[in-house]
Structure 1
Amino acid sequence: MIVTTRLNRFRQSPWGLALILPAILMPLTTQLSVRLWMLDGYVYLIYLPLATIIAMLLVYDWKAFPGIATGLSLYYFNRYAPGPAAAIVASWLMVLLSGWSGYRLQVKRRWGVRYGELRLMPNRLFWLAFFMPSLFVFMMQTLAMAGLVPLKGSIFHWEPFSLHTLLNFQSALLACVTMVPVCYLFIRSLRSPGYLRLTIFRLRQQFSPEVSKTEGAVWALLLAFLLTMLLQFAPGRQNLLATEYGLPLMLPLMLWAAMRFGYLFTGLVWALLLMVLYQLRDRFLHPDTGPYQLAVISANLLVFSLSLLLMAAITTRQRRTLARTKAAALNDPVMNLPNLRALSLALANSAGSTLCFLTIPDLDRLSRTYGLRLRIHYKSSLAAHLKPELQPGEDVYQLPGFDLVMRLEGSGQLARIENITARLKDYCLNWDGLPVHPGIGVSYCSVLPPVNHLYELLGELSGMAELSLTSGITENLQQKMTQPVQYRISKKIALLNTVQQALKSNGFQLIAQKICGVRGDDYHAVWLALENDRREPVPAAEFYAVINEFGLTWELDCWRLRQVLSFINQHRAKLPGIRIATALFTLSLCRPGLAKEIQAMLQDYCVEPWQLIFYVEESPMLTPHGGGYRAIDQLRYLGCRVAISNFGHGYGSYALLKQIEADMLRLNGEFVRNMFNNSLDYQIIESTCIMARLKKMQVVAADVETQEADNLLRKLGVDYLQGTLYGEAKPLHSLVEQDEAPPQRLPD
């Protein structure tokens, strides 16, 4: 602790790190500066010491001057006689004092704001990037003309309007425009090590949200290609990219970075790129390139650097302003609560949520009596009163009128909702000495994304919450059907009741169909069928949508899995070694401890893991960053096989196929049905088979109805075939009856 405190003092004190750094950086940056040797001495193409000293001032302010004076004295008194050295050091200090004083007087307390702040850019460009370099070159030229410094073999020249002086002036300008942010980052990181992590965070933040990894990789490859052409290949007439003609091609590439990658990234990359190009200029410049051509190139790069950095700063600020505008659009400015748009966005980004609807109809009467401020104050204070019951990522959302809605993460939040209800009963607002305690109706339901019917759902929740005011209990939209407010919602709830009753009374029917393996390893796929109260079949898409929306995925998966395991256990003598494929909802894969629960079921029914194949739908949650990736890995480790169902129908793509790890891939039947009529479908099947073989995955083709399709799919490398050609779908229990039937004798 003592060592850390002393180290921090050393970094912050003007007699610590600020005193030592200039003495170290002056000779180091001088050696790193790019020079050009001429007949009457040498000139700088990029002069780093001035940029480094300005960066020292930006970090330490006036505290940097003792160290700067010490570093300049040590450097120049070791290279010149005392008289010239004193004149040079005095000129340096005069330039820094005048430039820094003008800058501080104009920007006042905001002198140390990070680079890229657009409001300070005109001030910094004038005082730090123009005034200081101009005054510095003027002072050095004055010393040279007065004969106070040696001219032979040095950077000084007696003629003020010579090419020699112009190159030195441009080198100072270019360094102050492009190199100060790099030097500032280096010195600031030495003073505060956490600043480097902060810079990396800001750099990532400044990227456009639409930038993908592919775009970044393409940009980096193009930059590497141009650098390779410039620096590795010999220039010649046959290859103009390897000459200075290839240099302008980097300009649109950097403009791309300025528009998409932000100011920090563009500024740092451009500064490093300039150093590399200037240091290795002999690789791509013609041997006859003289100082005049270099002066023209330097002037062009200076103008482009200004344009590039200004454009990067402007686009970065525009993105930041747009992000703030979007964030402001998600918040109610009167209540200071997130609005309905924010709720819709939160539901879309969540794997599953529980909506808790609060209605306070008495607020309408009270606000007419005591004014609108009562409603505003009551709703905002009620939201603050409920905040302790919320977890990170959850919130209370403002609705028009006298309603509020809460979003809780996940489903099955009954205990938390009971705590929220108890907390609501304890709340009372004191308004001008009058206790305000109106009745609050509460209703809730679980939803899964995508929630396309949010407005209708909130309307039904509002009706249920009003019922709660009379019943005195919290109403659950998924368990109690009331007089419908919207027909679609009522129909959905009726179907939900049918599903729940089927789960309780084993009302689902298991349908099985044989899947033919090309190597004789057949298995059976099992899915669910449901009938409503009128004995009419319910389409699977309809009741699956309700199950997903109201959070019954695991209940259904658990019921189906137990039925399948019970069938295998009961008929193991008649159907030895039978393998059955059953589906798992993607949300069930995100359930903690899923593999352990399935392992316990297998042990209860004495079924081997290899007898189960799990079909999972395509979803981004199957990728390494999704919640289902780990569950798939655990199921495969357990011994079960996992197949990606209906590949190509939903989120499926080669990008998904590259990331997921599974055993089998089930092609969507639409491709198989159309492969003879549509060459694109055929190519999709062929390419998918190739990709699956590379991933060591087996391929299952659905909806195979003809022998021609069978022959073609076998040639393409499909491992399993499913369709009416191999057997009709029938109830699962009929497999036992089929096995008991005596085989038909062939005629003699």
Structure 2
Amino acid sequence: MDIFFKKIQRQLFIFIISTVLIAVSRHFSPSTWLDDEPNYLSWLPLSVIISVLLLWGRTAAIPLTIATVAVYLWLFPAESPWLTLLFIGCVLAPVIAVCGALRRWAGRRWRYDIMGRNGTILICALGFAAPCLIKALMYLTGMFVSFPDELSPYFGMASYLFNVIDVQSLVISSLVFSPPVYYALRILLSPAFRRAMWLVRIKPYFSPASRTKTVVWLSALFFLMWMFCSPVSSELFSAYMLPLLFFIFTVGIRSPGATFIAILWAISAFALIQCNKNFVHSINYGPVLAFTLSIFIAFTVCLYYMIRIYNRGARLQRVWHNHALTDPMTWLPNLRALDAHMKTHPGGILCCIRLNNLEFLGRHYGFLMRAHCKSLLDQTLSVHLRPNERVFQFIGCEVLLYLHEGNHEKRLRQMVSILNARRVPWKEQQLTIEHMAAWGRIMPGPGELNRLLGQLSYLAEQTNALEPVIGLDTQPESVMSVTSGQVELFQKIKQALDNGQLLLVGQPIVGRSGERYDEILSRLMVDGRIMMPDTFLPIITQCDLSVYFDMLVMAKLLNYLSSPVARGEKRRFSVNLMPVTLMQNGAAQRIVRLFAESQVDASRIVIEVTEEQAFSTAEHTARNIQLLRQAGFMIAIDDFGTGYSNYERLKRLDADIIKIDGCFIRNITSSTEDVIIVQSICALAKYRGLDVVAEFVETAAQRELLFNLGVDYLQGYLVGKPELLA
């Protein structure tokens, strides 16, 4: 009984909706006078009939028929009920028959995706076949049945032009106005569809990135519509200017979106048809009007096909995008997917799980075994993951795991224990895979993800069976007994950098006339003792902390230069940049921005780069050096003569200073070859206008000889030892 009453309730609801909409739509249907007879330009009740059938299917056939009969018996009480029923039968029978044929042809889902894959068949069947069948049936009926004078023109008793526009009115009603009426009903009746329509179809085009284009497009549309529909007669905005409006809608498929465009086109077409006399200026009004309606029909078909093509392209783009986010071997989301996941779910914990002996087993069993092990790992962990926690593909024998913060270390240990306790089946064998893991917090900022991945990969390699899980943020004391000395050293270095325990010292570089500037050298305060660069710089380079370290040095130096003491001294300093830093896109802009914010003159700084960087053809490295030089920084080539340099490259060197490596200086007082090398470098440097600095000067004899050979500046313990900056 409950099911029966629900069906009755649903039928009654469809009847009420259909009755109201048919009555209202007939009242607002655009019409005109041809041959002294009223003629509809678009008979909107047909749009309502088609939309109701698309929305509820065959369930709506009976209540829709009753509603149509009730409305027209109420509208034409003086006419014979049999003639009214005959008229309604001529309208409803072809539409219901076409819908039945569509269901048989396309299956039960013929009503779905009306602007997508079913669009072509719906355009042909409901947009053209149904209206033509309606008029054919009406003309056939008019041959055998006599209708009153006010109805007879619609049954073929009229001029050829009247009949043409009559058919066009039905085609326009079904083709142009059925989709927006269908969408309007769904928006009114379904909160879920209303929300999806707003979030997916409309809201994205009013986002900050697209708002300007959408507003400009809508403004152009409103202007044209106002000009066409304005009661002020204008020869400029006549029917021949309609292609301009069509162009606006063609462009709009991409700006406001496909579905939104279909609705706006229906609204615009209704306004144009309603106000047709404001832009159709011709003595032969009827033929021009028929031609204009034909243009509307043709453009609507083209617009729907363009919408379908655009939707198909957008769908393919989403598919390609999803494939671009997936590793083709393991079918796990890749690093690009991880980056997108972190943007939608900021914060969290990133874990690197290393399959310790997978590389060895992979050499024996093949590459597919590696992919199989990673896929099986994902299946094993999937039941232990919370919403929005995922496994991601990583390089080599590692995978990444994104976890929410909170009890994460305990959960990770449990997961690693589960993985280590299982056996991996492969070709009738049960393999044992050792799993180790390292975790760390995801910090915001450009380049932070790549830095964290390198650190976690390094830590995961250093774990062992006694302690298979280690945290990047764990205090060194808690992991001292189970990690190697290198891991402990790395954690101490990272903690010192994070806590601001970086110290800067300056070693003087003195010229022959006493002028000087200082090279900035770094020290770290670790456990109350000073750590030298030869200890921490290799770790920083290996763990991808180079950019982070260089920016800390710059920030520390700028803090000193901004102090009143340093501003009064006007001292100059040189700073070494690691190779990785200059390889980063935008590194130079970051440095220039730091100096601009601190209001420190860039000419006070000499940037020291290696020979490899100075002669590099890499795009980012060369670009960064060029930008730094343009910003006012001087460029010095460190350790000149030991690597890439030769006389040909020295001829085209774009720098200000070259620093001769200490290997040519230590024995210069006893080596004729070193004297000749230094003398030749100085001679060519002078010709190029470059200053020359000699490193590792430790004796007075070296100083005197170097100045005589043409060296401009000396650096070494003879001229001054490194001193802590105040």
TM-score scaled by length of structure 2: 0.63
Any conservation in 1 of the 2:436–2:463 contact (CA below 8 Å)? yes
2:412 is matched with 420
Any conservation in 2 of the 1:102–1:127 contact (CA below 8 Å)? no
What aligned pairs does 1:177-188 form with structure 2 within 5 A after superposition?
177-188=175-186
Matched, 1:62 2:66: no
Q: What's the secondary structure of 2:112's corresponding residue?
A: coil
Query: CA separation in 2, counterparts of 1:92 and 1:52?
Result: 12
Matched, 1:308 2:303: yes
Deviates more, 1:380-389 or 1:108-117: 380-389
Query: CA separation in 2, counterparts of 1:364 and 1:498?
Result: 30
Matched, 1:43 2:39: yes
Q: What's the secondary structure of 1:235's corresponding residue?
A: coil
State which structure, 1 or 2, has the greater radius of gyration over its C-alpha atoms: 2
1:194 is matched with 192
1:684 is matched with none
Distance 1:216 1:477, change over 3 A: same
Residues 346-391 of structure 1, C-alpha deviations (whole Å, 9 max, x = no match): 4566655643211113335556777877655543343344346655
1:84 is matched with 83
- Alpha-carbon shift at residue 344 of structure 1 (Å): 4.2
Q: What's the secondary structure of 1:405's corresponding residue?
A: strand
- Alpha-carbon shift at residue 285 of structure 1 (Å): 3.6
Any conservation in 2 of the 1:208–1:262 contact (CA below 8 Å)? no
What aligned pairs does 1:125-274 form with structure 2 within 5 A after superposition?
125-152=123-150, 155-156=153-154, 158-159=156-157, 162-189=160-187, 191-204=189-202, 212-232=210-230, 234-237=232-235, 240-241=236-237, 243-274=238-269
- Alpha-carbon shift at residue 502 of structure 1 (Å): 6.3
Deviates more, 1:31-40 or 1:77-86: 77-86
Distance 1:414 1:60, change over 3 A: closer
Query: CA separation in 2, counterparts of 1:397 and 1:22?
Result: 52
2:338 is matched with 343
Distance 1:287 1:6, change over 3 A: farther
Q: 2:378 aligns with which of 375, 380, 383?
A: 383
2:312 is matched with 317
Any conservation in 1 of the 2:442–2:449 contact (CA below 8 Å)? no
One-letter amino acid of the counterpart of residue 233, structure 2: P
Query: CA separation in 2, counterparts of 1:414 and 1:188?
Result: 43
One-letter amino acid of the counterpart of residue 126, structure 1: C
One-letter amino acid of the counterpart of residue 128, structure 2: F
Distance 1:465 1:8, change over 3 A: farther
One-letter amino acid of the counterpart of residue 180, structure 1: S
Query: CA separation in 2, counterparts of 1:493 and 1:154?
Result: 97
- Alpha-carbon shift at residue 291 of structure 1 (Å): 1.5
Any conservation in 2 of the 1:355–1:444 contact (CA below 8 Å)? yes
One-letter amino acid of the counterpart of residue 259, structure 2: L
Matched, 1:22 2:18: yes
Q: What's the secondary structure of 1:266's corresponding residue?
A: helix
Any conservation in 1 of the 2:234–2:279 contact (CA below 8 Å)? no
Query: CA separation in 1, counterparts of 2:472 and 2:278?
Result: 74
Q: What's the secondary structure of 1:286's corresponding residue?
A: coil
Distance 1:437 1:70, change over 3 A: same
Q: What's the secondary structure of 1:9's corresponding residue?
A: helix
Matched, 1:429 2:422: yes
- Alpha-carbon shift at residue 319 of structure 1 (Å): 0.7
Any conservation in 2 of the 1:496–1:546 contact (CA below 8 Å)? no
Query: CA separation in 2, counterparts of 1:492 and 1:222?
Result: 64
Any conservation in 2 of the 1:350–1:449 contact (CA below 8 Å)? no
RMSD: 5.0
Matched, 1:462 2:454: no
Residues 37-68 of structure 1, C-alpha deviations (whole Å, 9 max, x = no match): 22331111111111211111112222212122
Matched, 1:34 2:30: yes
Q: 1:398 aligns with which of 355, 369, 393?
A: 393
Distance 1:205 1:109, change over 3 A: farther
Distance 1:196 1:451, change over 3 A: closer
Q: 1:359 aligns with which of 349, 354, 365?
A: 354
Q: Report the identity percentage.
A: 22
- Alpha-carbon shift at residue 439 of structure 1 (Å): 2.1
Any conservation in 2 of the 1:331–1:338 contact (CA below 8 Å)? yes
Query: CA separation in 2, counterparts of 1:72 and 1:507?
Result: 84
TM-score scaled by length of structure 1: 0.61
Residues 73-96 of structure 1, C-alpha deviations (whole Å, 9 max, x = no match): 223334121332232123223312
- Alpha-carbon shift at residue 107 of structure 1 (Å): 0.8
- Alpha-carbon shift at residue 145 of structure 1 (Å): 3.8
Residues 231-255 of structure 1, C-alpha deviations (whole Å, 9 max, x = no match): 3462235xx14x4344332111100
Query: CA separation in 2, counterparts of 1:116 and 1:495?
Result: 59
- Alpha-carbon shift at residue 296 of structure 1 (Å): 0.7
Distance 1:211 1:125, change over 3 A: farther
- Alpha-carbon shift at residue 133 of structure 1 (Å): 0.2
Residues 401-436 of structure 1, C-alpha deviations (whole Å, 9 max, x = no match): 532112346xxx695134302331133335569875
**What are the ranges of 5 or more consecutive residues in structure 2 without an aligned counterpart?**
477-485, 506-519, 525-530, 564-588, 604-630, 633-724
- Alpha-carbon shift at residue 494 of structure 1 (Å): 8.8
Q: What's the secondary structure of 2:330's corresponding residue?
A: coil
One-letter amino acid of the counterpart of residue 265, structure 1: F
Query: CA separation in 2, counterparts of 1:499 and 1:465?
Result: 16
Distance 1:505 1:377, change over 3 A: closer
One-letter amino acid of the counterpart of residue 336, structure 2: R
Count of matched residue positions in the alignment of Structure 1 and Structure 2: 539
Any conservation in 1 of the 2:239–2:292 contact (CA below 8 Å)? no
Query: CA separation in 2, counterparts of 1:461 and 1:647?
Result: 27
1:99 is matched with 98
Any conservation in 1 of the 2:52–2:182 contact (CA below 8 Å)? yes
